[in-house]
Structure 1
Amino acid sequence: MSDFNKDEYLNDLPDMDDLSGQAAPAAASAADGASADSAAGAAGATQEGAAQPAAAQSQENGDSAAADGADKADAADGKADDTLTPLGQAKKEAAEYLEALQRERAEFINFRNRAQKEQERFRQHGIIDVLTALLPALDDIDRIREHSEMDDSFKAVANKIDKAFEKFGVEKFGEKGEDFDPTKHDAILHKPDPNAEKETVDTVVEAGYRIGDRVIRAARVVVASPQN
């Protein structure tokens, strides 16, 4: 749905002045007649007022001013609606309903995005719980791979477990020879090495696991360090 501009929409609405252009001359003539009658009445009122007491004249002027103020206030309140045709009024109401609908749609989109983020967060927590529970078994599989021969059936099962975790975004890390990084490696021992120019991983005791940028468990390693 494209963005809706209520002000631009309402500016295009027809008003009573546009639809009553032909009646304007007649209205102007009537207004002139009314002005003439008002002038004659004002003249008569002036003559009669000369004979009235000063206190009564002041009271009459005050009442007239109050009545004029009330009429102007009523005219101002109804001016906006009186200038619209029935079609224009209907279009105005339709614009207000459409604006309200767009606000509701925006709130629903925000709610849906928050729900999706919450769902992904709960899904990731579930994966982490399962991975944490299986870490001892995964460490045993790695030791068997490193220190003994695995038969074909056991190797097939181990590979299926690795692929299952990869499907859920779990990444295994920690290899001999890579640079030591304290943000993802847990050094259980530093041993001097005359051939080492910088700290590197010499032995991986337990592999590390992460999901995206989140480290679930740091790799436990032995670090070869320069002697100096």
Structure 2
Amino acid sequence: MSEFNKDDYLNDLPDADELAGQGAPAADAAKPADSQPVDQPAAPKPEEGPADAGNGDQQDADEGTLTPLGKAKKEAADYLEALQRERAEFINYRNRAKKEQDRFRQHGIIDVLTALLPALDDIDRIREHSEMDDSFKAVAAKIDKAFEKFGVEKFGEKGEDFDPTKHDAILHKPDPNAEKETVDTVVEAGYRIGDRVIRAARVVVASPQA
């Protein structure tokens, strides 16, 4: 039996670096496959609602926090606003109705006046060319007052300046003494209501000679 040689035994042992190199692959192989880093899915973002949804919730929250007295005041303010709006609409309607009523009333007066114009012209001719008895004068005066009551104005006088907007010239008569056109004779008087001419006065015009 050969003798144990310590130096030979130590020389046959592997180095520590060789042992470390052989152990590293084994350690890597021992790692589980699921130890690799995996990308985690991103957390879903909360959905954003419409902008006015937050305002509505805020308004509901504000109304919910009102005290009974505050709610009563708010209802009173809403009722007052609605009442004022209805009142304004009623005033506008009343004004329109009044204008329509005045317009229909004026049309009625014009229709009556137009129908009575021939009789009024006859009364004027009688006044101008003959004497009227007292009873006839009283009737004529009542007719004049009735038309004055409804705003009817009679116009057309001899000697006034000729105005084509209210005079209807049926004849132009040269006058050597005339410096401008004036009314020489009123054949039929004119009538108007306010600024509206119902019938222009029919006149003979005295015109300056050329």
Confirm or deny a common fold (TM above 0.5): yes
- Percent identity, aligned pairs only, is 83
Question: Whose relative contact order is higher, 1 or 2, with alpha carbons under 8 Å and at least 6 apart?
Answer: 1
Q: State the secondary structure of the residue aligned to 2:58.
A: helix
Instruction: Name the residue aligned to 2:66.
Output: 84
Aligned residue in 1 for 2:95:
113
* Bigger helix share: 1
Q: CA RMSD in A?
A: 2.3
TM-score (norm 2): 0.75
Residue pairs, 1:1-12, within 5 angstroms: none
Amino acid in the other structure paired with 1:54? Q
Counterparts of 1:45-84 in structure 2, within 5 Å, are: 54-55=40-41, 58-59=42-43, 62=44, 65-66=46-47, 73=54, 75-84=57-66
Aligned to 1:11: none
Aligned positions of 1:15-164 closer than 5 A: 54-55=40-41, 58-59=42-43, 62=44, 65-66=46-47, 73=54, 75-164=57-146
* Amino acid paired to 1:151: D
The 1-side partners of 2:82 and 2:57 are apart by: 29
How many Å separate the matches in 2 of 1:212 and 1:193? 33
Distance (whole Å) between structure 1 residues aligned to residue 57 and residue 165 of structure 2: 74
1:165 aligns with one of 113, 128, 147: 147
Where does residue 202 of structure 2 map in the other structure?
220
Q: Give the TM-score normalised by the residue count of structure 1.
A: 0.69
- Seen in structure 2, the aligned counterparts of structure 1 residues 146 and 66 have a Cα distance that, compared at 3 Å, is closer
Q: Give the Cα separation in 2 of the matches to 1:221 and 1:157.
A: 26
Name structure 2 gaps, 5 residues minimum. Answer: 1-38
Aligned counterparts of 1:158 and 1:177: Cα–Cα separation in 2: 25
C-alpha deviation, 1:112, in angstroms: 0.5
Divergent runs of 4+, >2 A? 72-80
5+ residue gaps, structure 1? 1-52
Q: Aligned partners of 1:157, 1:217: CA distance in 2, in Å?
A: 23
Count of aligned pairs between the two proteins: 170
1:181 is aligned to 2:163: yes
